[in-house]
Structure 1
Amino acid sequence: MRRQRGAALLIVLWLVALLTALVGAFALTARMEALQGRVGSRGAVAQEIARSGMEYALVRVADRNPETHWQPNGRAYTWTFDGHDVQVRIIDETGKVDLNQADVSLLSRLMQALGQPSDASDLIAAAIVDWRDADNLSQPVGGAEDGDYAAAGRDYGAKDASFETIAEVEQVLGMTPALYAQLAPFLTLYSGRGQPDATYAQGPVLAAMGMDATAWLAQRNATGVTGSNELVGTGSGTYSIESRARLADGREASLWTVVRAGASPVPGSAYTLLRWEEGAAPQ
């Protein structure tokens, strides 16, 4: 009997230890999930504030009052929402180089403005035009058609059709990840222009257009420039908007979009989303 009671006591002690371990594990899991939920909720709050910055930018860029109007020329604007800091930059898409419209010369000069050698820039620019044109003839300065892709071991040739995304240019023969990272912020598919609008162009694009970028940007950013009809406007209505939110606790979130202001196919929306990325601005 004593042995049976001892065995029963030992079993009870083991059960108590097991239950204690289970309760402890459950408590630890619950605490971790609570912390994860808190972190996730703060991240969601930061992301929504970044989105509010994007939507607020559309209101300010359409504002006709020169005192409160925001220019879509890449200038950084700071806004406070519910005690949190938001920094917003707006760039009109007409201030960028259109992949489907720009000629070899403009594309090459843009790459040169970003520090690429002239010979390599000419070849890659020609390959970009060969990618989108419908013929099988290379550009006078070089380029790349189907045979060149085959010789380079690529299992595809020139598309012979328009670019559908900016990232598609990475497939062009000669393009590298590093060069794409440099080019992407200055490229668009939405301007429909062979030449960018200098009113909204950034430094490398201005240089590619043969302008003195330093002097032009200084003039554009000068105090009182809002009185100039030449340098101020609401733009084309299609914008790249980068919105970065920073909460009071230090948490950050960023949003990078291309939007077209105005009527939208989505009921109740005042804009059409053309591109949307959360996190750092795309490279």
Structure 2
Amino acid sequence: MNCRGAALVLVMWLIALLTTTIAAFALTARVEHLQGRTMGDMAAGQELAHAGVDYALSRMQGTPTQPAWRADGRPYRWQFDGHAITLRVIDESGKVDLNQADPVLLQGLLRALGVEQARAQQLSSAIQDWRDADDLKQPSGGAESGDYAAAGFPYGAKNARFDSIGELQRVMGMDAALYAQLAPHITVFGGARPNARFAQAPVLTAMGLDAALLLAQREREDAAAAIGDTAGGAMAAAGTGTYNVDSRVTLVGDRQAVTRAVVRLNPEGVAGAPYTVLRWEQGAAAK
């Protein structure tokens, strides 16, 4: 009888162990299935976001039936393959160029974003010290290699041009929050002074212009174009050919597939791709 009882307990333990093993396997299989589906959805979303970049660039030239899009950062909506795609295009000439902007413009942009005067002056000087070829600090402050060493940084001032806006994160005095504010308004593909036709409000303010007045003027030009004055609208919309495109595809839930690209349109008639990629980033973001 005792042997039978022990055998029964052993069988029950084996059944419990098998049940647990099967449940764990089923859970693992479900998790892997969901991960695979999520990865598949994101991969498809990235392809749609890439298509959004191509479509946005195709809309930078107007047609008799469709006016050209404005490259000033306003949102445009596009439905493609059952998905909603939000597109923004900004002409790089409407941004502050880190390599060419003078101290007044750099400080003006920082002040327009709410940075207090002393910090704006220090950061503006540090940006100049980063990009200039000498080891002399700016009269108004700044940071050269000795300052970076004293602060414990494993690198010094570059003493050369910015290759990307991401380098700004390494400049002494910069932090992640301020960089996130600056990033939409800075470039390394612009000119000495931003093009006011495409600049957003903080850049217009940094230039000493009345941002509210100029933005209202753009709205009036859009209204004129909507009622048939296409000549004025085309002149206002025509860009320089180097654009920052932000393409966002809404996926299931609160996820978005995001592609951000800086591209330069190639002249018509040139064999090959319609544009040259200067910077390309893609990933996911919350809605």
Shorter chain as normaliser: what TM range? 0.7 to 0.9
State whether structure 2 residue 164 is matched by structure 1 residue 159: no
Paired with 1:176 and 1:77, the residues of 2 have a C-alpha distance of: 31
Bigger mean CA deviation after superposition, 101-110 or 22-31: 22-31
- What's the secondary structure of 1:175's corresponding residue? coil
Report matched runs for 1:131-280 at 5 Å.
131-191=130-190, 193-222=191-220, 223-225=223-225, 226-228=230-232, 230-233=235-238, 235-247=239-251, 251-262=255-266, 269-275=273-279, 276-280=281-285
Deviations 1:187-218 (A, max 9, x none): 10112x10111111111111111111111111
State whether structure 2 residue 50 is matched by structure 1 residue 51: yes
Give the corresponding residue for 2:72.
73
Which amino acid is 2:84 matched to?
D
CA shift, 1:8, in A, is 6.3
CA shift, 1:122, in A, is 1.9
Unaligned runs of 5+ in 2: none
After TM superposition, the score normalised by the length of structure 1 is 0.85
After TM superposition, the score normalised by the length of structure 2 is 0.84
User: 2:129 touches 2:138 (CA, 8 Å); kept in 1?
Assistant: yes
Task: Give me the CA root mean square deviation.
Answer: 2.7
Question: Residue 136 and residue 10 in structure 1: after superposition, are their counterparts in 2 closer, same or farther (change >3 A)?
Answer: closer
Paired with 1:51 and 1:198, the residues of 2 have a C-alpha distance of: 28
Paired with 2:231 and 2:173, the residues of 1 have a C-alpha distance of: 45
Paired with 2:147 and 2:252, the residues of 1 have a C-alpha distance of: 54
Bigger mean CA deviation after superposition, 148-157 or 31-40: 148-157
- What's the secondary structure of 1:80's corresponding residue? strand
Paired with 1:10 and 1:85, the residues of 2 have a C-alpha distance of: 59
Deviations 1:7-27 (A, max 9, x none): 666655554544443333322
Question: Residue 105 and residue 230 in structure 1: after superposition, are their counterparts in 2 closer, same or farther (change >3 A)?
Answer: farther
Pairs aligned (count): 275
Give the corresponding residue for 2:102.
103
Paired with 1:146 and 1:12, the residues of 2 have a C-alpha distance of: 74
Unaligned runs of 5+ in 1: none
Which amino acid is 2:258 matched to?
S
User: 2:46 touches 2:282 (CA, 8 Å); kept in 1?
Assistant: no
User: 2:265 touches 2:274 (CA, 8 Å); kept in 1?
Assistant: yes
CA shift, 1:184, in A, is 1.2
Paired with 1:274 and 1:88, the residues of 2 have a C-alpha distance of: 18
Which amino acid is 2:70 matched to?
Q
User: 2:129 touches 2:144 (CA, 8 Å); kept in 1?
Assistant: yes
User: 1:199 touches 1:230 (CA, 8 Å); kept in 2?
Assistant: no
User: 1:83 touches 1:248 (CA, 8 Å); kept in 2?
Assistant: no
- What's the secondary structure of 1:75's corresponding residue? strand
Which amino acid is 1:279 matched to?
A
Paired with 1:32 and 1:153, the residues of 2 have a C-alpha distance of: 44
Question: Residue 49 and residue 11 in structure 1: after superposition, are their counterparts in 2 closer, same or farther (change >3 A)?
Answer: same
- What's the secondary structure of 1:116's corresponding residue? coil
Paired with 1:108 and 1:154, the residues of 2 have a C-alpha distance of: 24
Paired with 1:37 and 1:268, the residues of 2 have a C-alpha distance of: 35
Deviations 1:140-179 (A, max 9, x none): 3332223333343434322111112212112222222222
- What's the secondary structure of 1:243's corresponding residue? strand
Which amino acid is 1:179 matched to?
L
Question: Residue 250 and residue 151 in structure 1: after superposition, are their counterparts in 2 closer, same or farther (change >3 A)?
Answer: closer
